[in-house]
A = this chain, B = another copy of it.
Amino acid sequence: MSTDLVRDAAEHRALSGEEEVAWRRYYRMQSHLLGVLNRELTQASGLSEAEYEVSAALLQQPGHKLRARELRRELLWEKSRLSHQLRRMEQRGLIRRTDCAEDSRGAIVELTAAGRRIVVQAECARVSAIRTHLIGVLSENQLAALSGISETVLHHLGIACAPHLDG
């Protein structure tokens, strides 16, 4: 009997006590950590999590610009999500959109000067918050374990997490 069959048979069993505790702890930790990081980011820079993700991705590009298609692949976002987000950020003056020379269907997204200034501030706040609430409270072993765990889970998700990016 293959281990796959064993696992399939186990998939509908209720969680064991330890599994349940681990899951509930992880779930709660994850949502609270996200919440506090988001609040500290907003307080320090005025950027939301979504605005920060877009701006930070642009900041690390040469010329602080990128095709919307590539930005979407970088963030692994749905296209409508990115489109709505870019509209709001353009209204706020954080980015601007221009036509793409090589492909008339495309859009080039570029950080404005104001956007650059703000996202640099936001990065400092984010690093500080990550140190305060995650990296600073974990041992080196724990951080290495978290990295390994994340890699493992991501690798297995590779197959399952694609569908929502098709459209």
**Hey, which bits of chain A sit against chain B, CB under 8 A?**
7, 10-15, 18-19, 21-23, 25-26, 28-30, 32-36, 39, 76, 124, 127-128, 130-138, 142-154, 156-157, 160-161, 163-164
Contacts and interface: CB of A to CB of B under 8 A. Distances in A.
Given A36-B160, A142-B145, A142-B148, A135 B29 contact: no
A154 B12 contact: no
Contacts of A148: 142
A12 B22 CA distance: 31
A124 B13 CA distance: 9
B30 A30 contact: yes
A10 B131 contact: yes
Given A35-B161, A76-B32, A147-B25, A19 B154 contact: no
A67 to B, nearest CB: 21
Contacts of A154: 25, 28-29, 32
A164 B25 contact: no
Contacts of A124: 12
Given A7-B136, A22-B144, A26-B134, 10 more contacts: A7-B131, A12-B124, A13-B127, A22-B135, A22-B150, A32-B157, A35-B161, A132-B160, A133-B156, A138-B152
A131 B26 contact: no
Contact of A153 (B21, B35, B138): B138
A130 B21 CA distance: 13
A153 B29 contact: yes
